[in-house]
Structure 1
Amino acid sequence: MSLLNVGARALLANQVALQTAGHNIANVNTPGYSRQTVVLQTVQGQFTGGGYIGQGVDVQTILRNQSELLTRQSAAAGSTQAADAVRAERLSQLQEVFSGGTQGLGAAINDMMNAFSDVVSSPTDITARTVVLTRLDETAARMRTASDRINEIEYTVKEQLQSSVTAINSLAAQMAAINEQIARATGNGQSPNDLLDQRDQIIRDINQYVQTTQIPADDGTVGLFVAGSQPLVLGSTATTLSIDDATAFPGSGQSKLFFNRPGATPVELDENVLGGGTVSGLLRFQNTDLTEGRNLLGRMALAIGMTMNEQQNLGLTLDGVPGKDLFALPTSMPGSTNGAGVGTVSFTGPTQFAASDYEIRFTTGTAGQVVRLSDGKSTPFTDAANLATLQIDGLNFNLTTPGNPGERMLFKPFSTAANNIQALVYSPRDLAAANPINAAMGTSNGGTMQLGSLKATGLPNPPGLVLPANANPAAIPPILGGIQLQFTAGPPTTYDVLDRGTTPPTSLATAQPYTSGQPISINGWEITLQGTPKTGDTVVIGNALDPQYGDTYTRNAGNASALMGLRDVKMFDESTLTDGYAGAIAQVGTRTQSAKFAEQLSTTIAANLERDRTAVSGVNLDEEAAKLIQYQQAYQASAKMIQIAQNIFDSLIQGLGR
C-alpha cells in the first residue's frame, strides 16, 4: 500500500504542477499577472529498523513570483511617466495655438503693420485704407480664434480631469472589495495569488491617475494613500476624490483635487504634493502652462490694441476729426478674493506689461504687497491710496474695500483680454492717418537743417496732446498761430520755443540744447530735425486744422507713419511689437520641449523598471512548455508507478489465495 500511496501523491503533485503551468500559459497576456510556481516538499519518511522509508511528495504551496520592491518602483515610475506624457501632449496642443507660418497670428500682425506703408505713400487712397482695416479685422479674428482654442483646450482638460477622478474612485472601490476578499482568504494560511495580482494591477492603474503610497497591514490588506497622508483606501473602506475650483479664489479658473473625508470638510490637495499621475500633470498644465499661454496671448492683444488705439486717437481722419479706437478692449478687470477685499486692475502702460497673474497679500492693517506670480517679485504698499498711485508693470490696482490681514486677492488682468477683441473702425475715411500737427521750415533758413519726422505722442500723459494755437488774421495785431522753434548757431547750438498764439508771442523755453537727429518733445508731440541750423533759422509747428492750411491734412500721413512705427517699439520683455509673437512662440516652445524631454526620460525609466519587474513576474512560454513536458513525463511515471503497485498488490492477493 505504501508504494501505491507514493504513486498517488506523485500523481496528484504532478497534476497540480501541470495545472499551474497551464494556468501560467493561459494568463500570459493578462495584465498584472505574476507567474506561479509549484513548491513541492518531501513527505516525512516512515521509520523502520532498516531506516526511514520515503513516503513520496506533497504540494507545499503555489508560489507567486513577484518582487515587492520592483512592483512599487514600477508603479511609481509609471505614475511619473503618465504625468509627463499628458502634460507634454497638452503642451503640444497649446504650441499649435502659437504656431508660425502664414496662417499664424504673427503673420497677421506683420501684415497689419506693413499694410500702413501704402497709406503712408498715398494717404487719400481709399483702397489702401480699406486694406489696413481688413488687416486689423483679420488680426482681431485670429486673436479671438487663438483664445477660443485655448478655451477649448481648457474644457477638454477639465473633462479629462473629471473622468480621471471618476476612474480613481471606481478603482479605489474595487481595491477595497479585493482587500476584503484577501483578508478573508489569508486566514487559511495560504496566499491568494490571483487576488494579490488583481490588487497590484489596480494599484498600478490608480497610479496612472494619481501617485499613491502603499502600506501593508497585518491582515493582508494594503492601505493606499494619496498626497502623502490621505487614506484613499484603508482596509475595506474607500474614500472618494473630486475636482473643483480652488477654495481660495472660486471662479478664478484654478482647479484643485479634493479628498472627501466622510462627515468632514473636503481637503484641498495641491498638485505639487500629488507626485505623478495624469491628474497631477493635467492640474499642472491647467494652473501653470495654460495660464501662461493665456496671459501671453492676452498681453499681446492688450498691448498691441492699446498702443494702436492711443496712436489712432492722436491722428485725424479724412473728415478732420480725431480718430476713434481701432480695437474694442477691456479697460479694467475685477479681482477674486478669499476675504473682504474688493478691487479692480486697470491698464495704463502697455509697453510694460508682464504676462503674469498677480496677488495682493494683506499683511498688517490695510498694508500689504502686490506679488507677480510668474517670478514672485513683490511691491509693497501702505494702504489703498498708496497702492492706487503705484504703476506696477503698466497696471494700476484700485481697491474699493481693502482686505483684512492674512487675506489675499487674485488678479488675472490678461486671462480674457483676447476673448472678445474686435476691430471697431469700418469706414476707410475713419482711419486717422494724418498728423494733428504739421511743420514748416522757415523760408529764409540758411542752414542745412531738414525735417526728419513729426508725430503726436500724447506724452507725458497727463497732460497729453496740446495742439498749437490757430492763427487769427482778424485780430489786431494778427495772431500767427503755432509753435516756433528759433535757433542760435552757437556753439553750442540752441533753440528758443515761442508760442505764437499770443501777441506778442510768449516764450515757453529758451536756450534749449539742440542735437541733430535727437527728438524734441513739446506738448505731447515730437519733432526730429536733421542737419545744422544757422542763427535765426526757424521751424513752425502748427495745428493741422488751422484754416490757414486748408485741407492739407488730408494729404498728410504722419500718424499712419507713427502707427507703422509701432512695430519697432520695445513692448514685450524688451522685444519689439513684431518680435513679440516670436517671443511667445519661444516661451511656449521651450516649455513644450522641456516637457517632451521629461516625458522621454520618465518613459525610459518606467520601461526599464517594468522590464525588470516582468523579468521576475512575467510568463516565459518557452520555459512553461519545457515544464509541461517535464511534468507530463513525471505524471506518466507516477501513473506507471501506480500501475506497478497495483500489479504487485494483485499478485500478492492471488498468492495468498492459493
Structure 2
Amino acid sequence: MSSFFGLDVAISGLFASQRSLDIANHNINNVNTPGYSRQVGVQKATRPVGLLDGTGMVGTGTEITAVNRVRDDFLDFKYWSENVSFGEWETKSNAMEDLEAIFNEPSDTGFTTVMDEFFASLQELSKDPSSEAARASVKQKGVSLCKYLNSTAAHLQKMRDDNNYSLKIKVDELNSYTRQIKDLNEQIYKSELDGNAANDLRDQRTLLLDKLSKLANIQASEVVVGKLPNGKEDRRFQVTINGSYLVNHFDTYELETFEIDEGSHRDGMYGIQWAKSGNEMIPKGGELKGYLDVRDGNGEAGQYKGIPYYLEKLDEFAQSFAKTFNEGILKDGEQHYAGHAGGVGLDGSVGVRFFSYENKSSAQLVENGYDKLTAANISISSDVESDIYKIATASVGGEAGNNGNIASLLELRHESKMFNEGAPEDFMKSLVAMLGVDAQQAVRVSGNQENLVQQIDNRRLSLSGVSVDEEMANMVKYQHAYNAAAKMITVMDEIYDTLINRVGV
C-alpha cells in the first residue's frame, strides 16, 4: 500500500464532489429548458484493497460511475398514447367552433332571421298583390335567402379547403420531426459507443416524440440488435406508424400528400401516402386523423359528421325547399300545393319558378332538373329577376287583387311534411342542434384528454423536472463534502510534511 494512500482517498472524494456540483449546476441552468430531464450522478465506493496481514480490507475512496437522467419510460409511452387522442379531438373541437360560427344561430343575421324576413315580405305582398314595392321586397328577400345559403356553403367549402391545406402542413411537419429524430439517433449512437449516456440528446429526441405523438398514432421503441465490440448492447431506435417505419435508426421513411382522383367527394383533396412505395397511409389518430375526419366525414356508416355532412344537409334543404316552393311537391314526392309554378303572375304568366340555380330561367331549371341545384348555387330564377310582375300571387288569371296562390305559399312556412324533421325552420333548428351536440362532444372529449395528458405530464415533471430548491440543497451538501475532502488533503499534507521534513531532525 502506497505511503500516499490516504491522500489518494481524499482526492477521490474531492473529484466526486466537484463532479456532483457540476451536475447540480447543469440541472439549475436547464430548469426552464423544454423536455429537459433532471440528471443525477451515480456515486459508489471504489474497490477496496485487502491488507497484507489478512486482517481485512480498507476502502480506497469514491467515484462517479455514471450520470443518468431521471426518466420513467412508462410515463413517456403513456403520454404518447394519450396525446394522440388529444391531438385528434382538439382539432375536431376547433373545427366545430368554426362551424358554429359559420351557421351563426341564433343571431340577427342567421337563417331564422332571413327566413322570417322572406315570409314577412310574402305576407305584405298578400295584402296588395299589385304593389310594385311589395313585389320588389319579395324579390330582394328571396335574393337574401339565396345569398345566405350561398355564403354559408361557400364558407363551409373554404373551411374544408383550409383543413385540406392544414393536412399538408401537418404532413410536412411530421417529416421534419422524423428527420430531426434520425439525426439525433446518429449523434446518440456515436456518443454512446464509449459507454457514456447522451442524456441531453435523448431529452431532445423525447421532446420531438412528444410533438410527433400529437400528429399521428406513433409507436417508439429502442431494440437490442446485438453486441458492440466493447461488449455493450447495440441498440437501435425505431418509430413506426400503423406498423410501418417512420424512423429506423439512421433511416427515415417520409410521407407525402397526393391529389385524390377517385370519383368520390374527396376528389381534388389531399391523401397521405408513403413517399417511397406510394401506398396510401390512413392515420388512426392524432391531428392528421382529426383533419381528415373534419374534411371528409359525411356521417355515413358511422363516419364522423364533418364538413361534407353539413354541406349535404344544406344542399338537401336548398333543393327540397326550392322544389316545394316552386312545384308544391313535399318530401313524399307528391304534389300537395299548386306551388309558385301553379300560380299566375300580374302579367298573366304561368309556369314560372321563383327559385332556380345560377340565375337560370324556369325552362332551364325544368330541363336540367333540381339535382343541379345546391346551397352554393341556388338563386331566384332569371324570370323573376328580370320581371317582378312574374311573381305568381294569384290562383287564377285576370284578377289583380287575387292573392290565393301567395296565401298557399305562406302555408309552406309551417308545412311539417316538407322535411323529415318538419317545417323549414324545424329542419335548420335540427341541423344547428345536431351541430351543437357534436361541438359539445368534441369540446368535452378534448377537455378530458387535455386533462389526462396534463396529469401524465405533471407526473413526468414531478419525477424528471428540476427543482431549484432541491438542487440548491444538493449544492450545499456537495460543497460541504468538497470542503471536507479538501480539509482531509490539508491534514494529510501536514502529516506528510511532519513525517518527511521533521522526523529525525
TM-score between the two structures when normalised by the length of structure 2 = 0.86
2:294 alignment partner in structure 1: 285
Asked if 1:647 corresponds to 2:494, the answer is: yes
Q: 1:294 to 1:31 in 2, by over 3 A?
A: same
How big is the shift at 1:74? Answer: 0.9
Q: 1:625 to 1:295 in 2, by over 3 A?
A: same
Q: What is the Cα deviation at residue 12 of structure 1?
A: 1.0
| Alpha-carbon separation, structure 2, partners of 1:603 and 1:168 | 21
Shift of 1:222: 1.8
* Cα distance in 1, alignment partners of residues 82 and 210 from structure 2: 10
Unaligned runs of 5+ in 2: 225-233, 298-305, 328-338, 360-367
Q: Name the aligned partner's letter for residue 237 of structure 2.
A: V
Is 1:3 the counterpart of 2:6 in the alignment?
yes
SS of the counterpart of 2:418? strand
The aligned amino acid for 1:328 is S
Task: Pick the aligned partner of 1:34 from 29, 34, 37.
Answer: 37
Pick aligned residue for 1:195 from 189, 193, 201: 201
CA distance, structure 2, for counterparts of residue 110 and residue 596 of structure 1: 32
| SS class of match (2:257) | strand
> Does 2:320 correspond to 1:298?
no
SS of corresponding position for 2:463: helix
Alpha-carbon separation, structure 2, partners of 1:115 and 1:579: 20
Cross-structure match for 2:301: none
- Greater share of residues in helix: 2
Map of 1:428 onto structure 2: 388
Q: Deviations over 1:496-532 (max 9, x none)?
A: xxxxxxxxxxxxxxxxxxxxxxxxxxxxxxxxxxxxx
Instruction: For 1:50-129, list aligned pairs within 5 A.
Output: 50-100=55-105, 101-129=107-135
Q: Does 1:24 align with 2:27?
A: yes
Q: Which residue identity does 1:12 align to in structure 2?
A: F
2:444 is the counterpart of 1:562: no
Q: CA deviation at 1:590?
A: 1.3
Equivalent-residue separation in structure 2 for 1:574 and 1:175 (angstroms): 53
Give the distance between the partners of 2:496 and 2:262, measured in 1 at CA.
87
Tell whether the 8 Å contact from 2:178 to 2:247 is kept in structure 1 after alignment: yes
| Preserved CA contact (<8 Å) 2:358 2:379 | no
CA contact (8 A) 2:266 2:296 kept: no
Q: Given residue 158 of structure 2, which amino acid in structure 1 is its aligned partner?
A: E
Does the CA-based 8 Å contact 1:225-1:231 persist in structure 2? yes
- CA displacement 1:371-400 (0-9 Å, x = unmatched): xxxxxxxxxxxxxxxxxxxxxxxx7xxxxx
Taking a change above 3 Å as real, the CA distance of residues 134 and 84 of structure 1, as seen in their structure-2 partners, is same
Q: Is the 8 A contact 1:123 1:555 kept in 2?
A: yes
Q: Distance in 2 between matches of 1:251 and 1:633?
A: 73
Contact 1:241–1:257 (Cα < 8 Å) also in 2? no
Q: How does 1:76-475 map to 2 (within 5 A)?
A: 76-100=81-105, 101-218=107-224, 219-226=234-241, 228-246=242-260, 248-249=262-263, 252-253=266-267, 255=269, 257-262=271-276, 264=277, 266-271=278-283, 274-275=284-285, 277-288=286-297, 289-310=306-327, 311-329=339-357, 417-424=374-381, 425-426=384-385, 427-435=387-395
- Check 1:319–1:250 CA distance in 2 against 1; reply closer, same or farther (3 A cut): closer
Q: Conserved in 2, the CA contact under 8 Å of 1:571 and 1:580?
A: no
Q: Secondary structure at the match of 2:315?
A: helix
Distance 2:491 2:270 in 1: 74
Is the 2:257–2:273 Cα contact (8 Å) retained in structure 1? no
> Does the CA-based 8 Å contact 1:18-1:631 persist in structure 2?
yes
What is the CA–CA distance in structure 2 between the aligned matches of 1:216 and 1:621, rounded to whole Å? 32
Shift of 1:323: 4.6
SS in 2 for 1:224: strand
Instruction: Give the SS at the match of 1:574.
Output: coil
**d(CA) in 2 for partners of 1:249 and 1:225?**
31
Deviation per CA, 1:442-477, whole angstroms, max 9, x where unpaired?
A: xxxxxxxxxxxxxxxxxxxxxxxxxxxxxxxxxxxx
CA contact (8 A) 1:180 1:221 kept: no
Aligned 8 A contact 2:256 2:275 in 1: no
Alignment check: 8 A CA contact 1:243 1:255 kept = no
Q: How does 1:621-632 map to 2 (within 5 A)?
A: 621-632=468-479
CA distance in 1, matches of 2:404, 2:467: 81
Residue-by-residue CA offset, 1:246-273 (whole Å, 9 max, x unaligned): 46437734756523252x2x221234xx
Q: Which structure is larger by alpha-carbon Rg, 1 or 2?
A: 1
Aligned-partner residue type, residue 465 of structure 2: G
Q: Do 1:254 and 1:287's aligned partners in 2 also have CA atoms closer than 8 Å?
A: no
Distance 1:13 1:22 in 2: 14
Flag the 1:112–1:90 CA change in 2: closer, same or farther, 3 A: same
Shift in CA distance, 25/253, structure 1 to aligned 2, threshold 3 Å: farther
Query: Residue 238 of structure 2 aligns to which amino acid in structure 1?
Result: G
- Residue-by-residue CA offset, 1:330-389 (whole Å, 9 max, x unaligned): 89xxxxxxxxxxxxxx866xxxxxxxxxxxxxxxxxxxxxxxxxxxxxxxxxxxxxxxxx
**CA, structure 1 residues 72+322, in 2 after alignment: closer, same or farther (shift >3 Å)?**
same
- Distance change >3 Å, CA 41–CA 249, structure 1 → 2: farther
Q: Which amino acid aligns with 2:11?
A: A
Inter-CA distance 255–268: structure 2 relative to 1 (3 Å threshold): farther
Seen in structure 2, the aligned counterparts of structure 1 residues 179 and 22 have a Cα distance that, compared at 3 Å, is same
> Comparing both structures, which one devotes a greater share of its residues to strand?
1
Contact 2:274/2:281 (<8 A) preserved: no
Mapped contact 1:214–1:224 kept (Cα < 8 A):
yes
Cα deviations by residue, 1:171-221 (Å, 9 ceiling, x for unpaired): 100101111222223322232111211111111111121120113222333
Residues 258, 273 of structure 2: 8 Å contact kept: no
1:233, distance to aligned residue in structure 2 (A): 0.7
The 5-angstrom pairing of residues 557-596 of structure 1 reads 557-569=403-415, 570-596=417-443
What is the alpha-carbon distance in structure 2 between the residues aligned to residue 325 and residue 640 of structure 1? 105
- Cα distance between partner residues in 2 of 1:315 and 1:433: 6
1:422-446 deviation per Cα after TM superposition (whole angstroms, max 9, x unaligned): 22323321211111xxxxxxxxxxx
Q: Which amino acid aligns with 2:497?
A: D
Aligned-pair distance for 1:10? 0.9
Give % identity: 24
Number of residue equivalences: 459
Whole-angstrom distance in 2 between the partners of 1:245 and 1:581: 34
Which amino acid is the alignment partner of residue 324 of structure 2?
T
Q: CA deviation at 1:620?
A: 1.4
CA shift, 1:22, in A, is: 1.2
Aligned-residue offset at 1:647: 2.1
Task: In structure 2, give the amino acid aligned to 1:428.
Answer: I
- The answer to whether the 8 A contact 2:163-2:291 is kept is yes
Match of 1:372 in 2: none
The residue identity in structure 2 corresponding to 1:642 is I
The Cα of 1:129 is off from its aligned counterpart by 1.6
1:39-62 deviations in Å (ceiling 9; x for gaps) = 101011121124212110011111
Deviation string, structure 1 residues 560-603 (Cα, Å, up to 9, x no partner):
11221111222332321122211111121111111111111111
Write the distance in 2 (CA, Å) between the matches of 1:256 and 1:158. 6
